[in-house]
Amino acid sequence: MKSQIKIGSILFSIFKYAMLIAAAVISLLPVVVCVFTAFKTTDDYNSSSVLDLPKQWMAENFSIALDQANMLRGFANTAIVLVVVLTCSIFISAMLAYVLNRFKFRGNGIIQNLFMFASLIPGIATQVTVYQIMFSLGLINHLYGYMIVLMGTDIISIYIFLQFFENLPVSLDESAIMDGCTYFGVFFKILFPLLKPAIVTSLVLKGVSVYNEYYMSNLYLQTRELRTISTALYAFTGPYGNQYNYICAGVLITIIPIFVLFLIFQKQIYGGMAAGAVKG
Amino acid sequence: MSKQAAAVPKKKRSFMELMKRREVQRGLVIVLFMFVPLLLLMTFTYIPFAKMVQFSFYDMKYIGERTFVGLQNYIDVFQREDIFSSLFVSLYYMGGAIVQLALALFFASLMVFKERGASFFKGAMFFPYLICGIAIGFIFKFFYARGFVLDSILQMFGMNMEDIPMWLQDQSINNIALAATSVWRYTGQNMILFLGAMMSVDSDLYEAASLDGANKWHQFIYIILPSIKSIVVLNLILSISGSLSAFEPPYVITNGTMGTGTYFVIMNRIAHENQKVGLACAMAIVLLAIIILCTVAQKLFFKYAFDDGTSDESKAAVRKRKKAEKAAKKAAQRAKGGQAK
């Protein structure tokens, strides 16, 4: 009886690890082949099978990709956008959530519903007319215009903060007010520092979506100097056609920074994801 | 007002002053803190939305004259072959979304009892989610290209080149190939969400269960699965509207050719290449209506089936229990009555 159970659990372990290994291989294979290809010279690429290791590991494709697609500039632009948008939208949504959660006033419910309904509208759908508004406000082809649009379409973080405020006891505010604190003081000195977990969550979710954003960046930043990392990468479609050794180098350049960040902040990223889902 | 009431002051006058200042402050905070987000919401969501409704009745370009055409754009949405058939392309992505949820659930349950190497497997499966959509497009353009990665692998396993379909050109398979890329991208992320919910179960529950003689299978069925029901439902809703708005895979990999154009790819082309702004607006409104319908239908369905998907007891079960309670009460009363007689 006991040995039967043991055999069963061994078989189950074998099955489990076989499945997990298969999943890991499928997840990594397309990227790994890309790594091989990125290090091949053009001759090597033309003559070998894509699954072969490069004969010599050559890094020249990377410098060509960086140069040709102006990817360094793309990184710089993306970095600026990330820092500004994340900072601003955290403050904006935390402040909004504070008012909506802590004060009862006429229109509070309506405003919350307005934000909820907005989250149903898929982003790309409204861009046809947002484009017109951007145009008439003169925000096209300016990095700040793009940043403003990104902040304006930020509903996830508002939700995360609203949920988080639900769980912060009101007695905190009350005792601070009795000690003579103003409402501003309550928010900035007492509550904001307590929001750390929610801030991490929204940094992760918003950060990933901004870094990966392509559609609006393509619409509103049309000059070469303003390209972000994703539009810079897209520029590879034209000139390189089938030269996948260059394209793969470009792809890897965009992946490397996020891979490093992932290795460092793995725990926070998983935590942020999970918290965002439960609450959002 | 309870805040002020709690602070009953000694001097009445200073209390009034305090009140006054508090009121002013309150109004100031409300206006100041809400001004920017509301301005942004109006400018980038509701004004565009209103304009979209308006434009959908016109035949117009971005610049130039517009002519009122009534419902013609809406009629076109349903009559133009390219637009209407693109709605069916979304079905592939919906199928993909369901496969992805099932896979995520499967792998999350394999990993829930902390196993050796779990963090490596977790990382490997999750990482695709962090890669940007354009890069994923290129990776898979390369992966599926004739004679490249996938074909070489299949040949390694002994398949003939003639038997391998053209992944991106063959209309019977190209949409499946494209939908598979979004399964590849999102499965790990869904898995992390499910794992997070599974892990948040109180560990006392497991202890109590194993004291009662429950094995791991029982723990899985009775403790873990109920704990993630609501998040699975939530993801199902999100993935349906997500599959209706699929954009990046066909846009980068095939540019919407060979029957792979999803609704947004076609809309993007109509709006920015053909500059038929009115038609594109009508398309956006039709899509929004579909998404709202789906969301409401799903919410209603789950409200009926599970009480908004959060309670563990289904409506039917509640009704059964209440009936049983009533019957028990009646029986008890009858028994009492019988005794009294």
Residue range B102-111, pLDDT digits in tens: 899 888 888 8
Are B284 and A126 in contact by the 8 Å Cβ rule? The answer is yes
Looking at the domain B82-135+176-321, which fold is it?
A: MetI-like fold (1.10.3720)
Q: Are residues A38 and A103 in the same domain?
A: no
How far apart, in Å, are the Cα atoms of A47 and each of A41, A178, B149?
10, 78, 15
Please tell me which of the candidates A105, A255, A278 has its beta carbon nearest to residue B197: A278
Q: Are residues A162 and A54 in the same domain?
A: no
Q: Are residues A161 and A258 in the same domain?
A: yes
How many whole angstroms separate alpha carbon A62 and alpha carbon A77?
A: 19
Look at B195 and A187 and tell me if their CB atoms are within 8 Å.
Answer: no
Residue B287: list chain A partners with CB under 8 A.
122, 125
Q: Are residues A126 and A174 in the same domain?
A: yes
Element (DSSP H or E) covering residue A111: helix A108-120
Q: Are residues A106 and A233 in the same domain?
A: yes
Lowest model confidence (mean pLDDT) among A119-128, B65-74, B291-300, B324-333? B324-333
Higher pLDDT, B184 or B325: B184
Look at A273 and B277 and tell me if their CB atoms are within 8 Å.
Answer: no
Look at A99 and B62 and tell me if their CB atoms are within 8 Å.
Answer: no
Q: Is A15 on the interface with B (CB under 8 A)?
A: no
Are B291 and B205 in contact by the 8 Å Cβ rule? The answer is no
Length of chain A: 280
What total number of domains does chain A contain? 2
End-to-end CA gap in chain B = 59
User: Which amino acid makes up residue A242?
Assistant: N
What was the ipTM of the complex prediction? Answer: 0.84
Two tokens at B236?
A: 């199902």
Identify whether A17 is part of a domain: no
DSSP letters spanning A226-264: G--HHHHHHTTHHHHTT-HHHHHHHHHHHHHHHHHHHHH
Identify whether A269 is part of a domain: yes
Give the 3-state secondary structure of residue B2. Answer: helix
Give the 3-state secondary structure of residue B60. Answer: strand
| Residue B256 burial by Cβ neighbours in a 10 Å radius (0-12, 13-18, 19+) | buried
Q: Are residues A158 and A186 in the same domain?
A: yes
Identify whether A24 is part of a domain: no
Identify whether A1 is part of a domain: no
How many whole angstroms separate alpha carbon A234 and alpha carbon A213?
A: 12
Q: Is A119 on the interface with B (CB under 8 A)?
A: no
Residue B200: list chain A partners with CB under 8 A.
274, 278
Query: What is the predicted pLDDT for the residue at B17?
Result: 66
Look at B284 and A34 and tell me if their CB atoms are within 8 Å.
Answer: no
Q: Are residues A179 and A50 in the same domain?
A: no
Residue B58, beta-bridge partner list: B68
Chosen from A13, A19, A20 to mutate, greatest number of chain B CBs within 10 A: A20
Query: What is the predicted pLDDT for the residue at A86?
Result: 92
Q: Which domain holds residue A159?
A: 70-279
Q: Is A256 on the interface with B (CB under 8 A)?
A: no
Lowest model confidence (mean pLDDT) among A76-90, A96-110, A128-142, B321-335? B321-335
Q: Is the pLDDT of residue B212 over 50?
A: yes
How far apart, in Å, are the Cα atoms of A107 and each of A121, A129, A164, B50, B333?
22, 27, 21, 21, 51
Q: What are the sequence ranges of the domains in chain B?
A: 2-6+14-68, 82-135+176-321
pLDDT tens per residue across span A18-34: 888 998 988 888 888 88
Are B121 and B114 in contact by the 8 Å Cβ rule? The answer is no
Identify whether A20 is part of a domain: no
Look at A27 and B188 and tell me if their CB atoms are within 8 Å.
Answer: yes
pLDDT tens per residue across span A167-203: 888 888 888 888 878 888 888 888 888 888 888 888 8
Q: Are residues A127 and A194 in the same domain?
A: yes
Identify whether A176 is part of a domain: yes
- Chain B residue whose CA is closest to A232: B134
How many whole angstroms separate alpha carbon B262 and alpha carbon B243?
A: 9
Query: What is the predicted pLDDT for the residue at A203?
Result: 86
Q: Are residues A272 and A139 in the same domain?
A: yes
Higher pLDDT, B101 or B313: B101
Neighbours of A66 (CB within 10 A): 18
